[in-house]
Amino acid sequence: MGIELNFEGKIAMVTGASSGLGARFAKVLAQGGAQVVLASRRTERLKELRAEIEAEGGAAHVVSLDVTDYASIKAAIAHAETEAGPIDILVNNSGVSTTQRLIDVTPDDYAYVMDTNQRGAFFVAQEAAKRMIARAKGDPKKQHRIINIASVAGLRVLPQIGIYCVSKAAVVHMTKSMAVEWGRYNINVNAICPGYISTEINAEHFQSEQGKALVNMLPRKRVGEPQDLDGLLLLLASDEAHFINGAIMTADDGMSAS
């Protein structure tokens, strides 16, 4: 018995879609048939991504979003639903980091990471969920999905990125809280915790001596590629995942198990 995941007729919003994992998530959902709302501050990059998606036969919309600005969050989600339609799937992906010892973290460093990774993620999910809940009250069978992008750093402490670890641990617990409270409205909230994934932002680092030393410490001495998250993303976004709620799912090549 085969299962075919089909996102025709679905609206998926991806935050932090201008590069890296966010761009990949958007492409994959568009290839699956979803109309994708691309959201970030860098709208010129989003327009380039929209052109790529449309050239491959997909459908995409561009929305300006600053997750550190509550008014921007509300405006972006309203714009998304006006432009594309009610959001069925939210991929809550925006994230930033700093590299430093905890003793060197300043209040500005702390706010920079936490305002995007935790506070921003919370209020994006909240604003989307308000609309999802309103629709669910009119149609109890309607299914919605929220996928929070956390990190293996939210499950174990990694050196030099302590505040990032704190922020992603908060996203992990936030995911569970949302799943418990919103599950009754058929909103399934789950988290993906990637390990080290090579993207345009960090690929050069993994080729450095420090980066190679880090890779050599990993269970299979390799880092992942963005496409290694495709299957997990598609599963959690699908209607077939109706019994998966509050799950914290790692895709780290065994890193958190070692």
Catalytic residues, by residue number, are 164
| Whole-angstrom distance, CA of residue 246 vs CA of residue 175 | 6
Token match 């201008």: residue? 18
Do residues 172 and 192 make contact, with C-beta atoms less than 8 angstroms apart? no
The C-alpha angle 248, 151, 250, rounded to 5 degrees, equals 45
- Cβ atoms of 113 and 64 within 8 Å: the answer is no
CA-to-CA separations, 125 to 57, 67, 144, 198, in angstroms, rounded = 29, 11, 12, 26
**What does the chain come to in residues?**
258
With H, G, I as helix, E, B as strand and everything else as coil, classify residue 149: strand
Q: Is residue 221 helix, strand or coil? A: coil
Contact 58, 36 (CB under 8 A): yes
- Closest among 69, 53, 73, 70 to 61, alpha carbons compared: 53
Burial of residue 159 (number of CB atoms within 10 Å: 0-12, 13-18, 19+): exposed
Nearest to 97 by CA among 167, 155, 147, 46: 167
